[in-house]
């Protein structure tokens, strides 16, 4: 199973172990720019960026789709008739996260391209460490525990 990471954060080791893959280096800067908005933005900006990210996700999925263990576990690639007999792909899946007002538009754009859309689920653990000066340094550790699927 391959899940394209469409967040601004690099996938953790736990996420990679569950099939989450970062976008390629050549698309990472573009993705981060599309996920970043000015203080004042319009709905059309949200929709346009969401569609651009969905296009980027499609291209990334196309690069990573052959990771499933065997062709019997993958449906046929439905856009390339010339290779129907031997070019197989896994289902399209993406992990998203970021600005809440953008997520519904990004979800929709990805679903329009037949992606299953998910959000990372984390277990937040507070760790207290003595700071050596009589105080305590408090740190929040986020441990990936799975994906919450939106569709």
Residue 52 in any domain: the answer is: yes
Q: How many domains does the chain have?
A: 1
pLDDT of residue 90: 62
Residue 25 in any domain: the answer is: yes
Residue 145 in any domain: the answer is: no
Residue 147 in any domain: the answer is: no
Nearest to 1 by CA among 86, 77, 85, 61: 61
Residues spanned by the domain of 87: 3-119
Residue 151 in any domain: the answer is: no
pLDDT in tens, the chain (151 residues): 789 999 999 999 999 999 899 999 999 999 999 999 999 999 999 999 999 999 999 988 877 665 444 445 544 454 554 444 333 456 789 999 999 999 999 999 999 999 999 999 988 888 888 999 999 998 888 888 989 999 8
* pTM score of the predicted model: 0.77
Residue 124 in any domain: the answer is: no
């Amino acid at each position: 199973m391959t899940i394209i990471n469409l967040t601004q954060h690099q996938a953790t080791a736990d996420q990679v172990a569950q099939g989450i893959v970062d976008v390629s280096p050549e698309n990472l800067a573009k993705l981060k720019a599309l996920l970043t908005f000015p203080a004042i933005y319009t709905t059309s900006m949200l929709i346009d960026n969401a569609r651009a990210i969905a296009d980027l996700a499609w291209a990334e999925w196309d690069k990573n789709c052959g990771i499933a263990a065997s062709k019997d576990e993958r449906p046929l690639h439905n856009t390339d008739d010339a290779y129907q007999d031997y070019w197989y792909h896994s289902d399209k899946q993406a992990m998203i996260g970021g600005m809440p007002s953008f997520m519904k538009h990004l979800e929709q754009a990805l679903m329009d391209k037949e992606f299953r859309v998910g959000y990372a689920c984390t277990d937040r653990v507070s760790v207290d460490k003595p700071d050596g000066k009589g105080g305590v340094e408090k740190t929040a550790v986020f441990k990936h525990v799975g994906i919450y699927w939106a569709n």
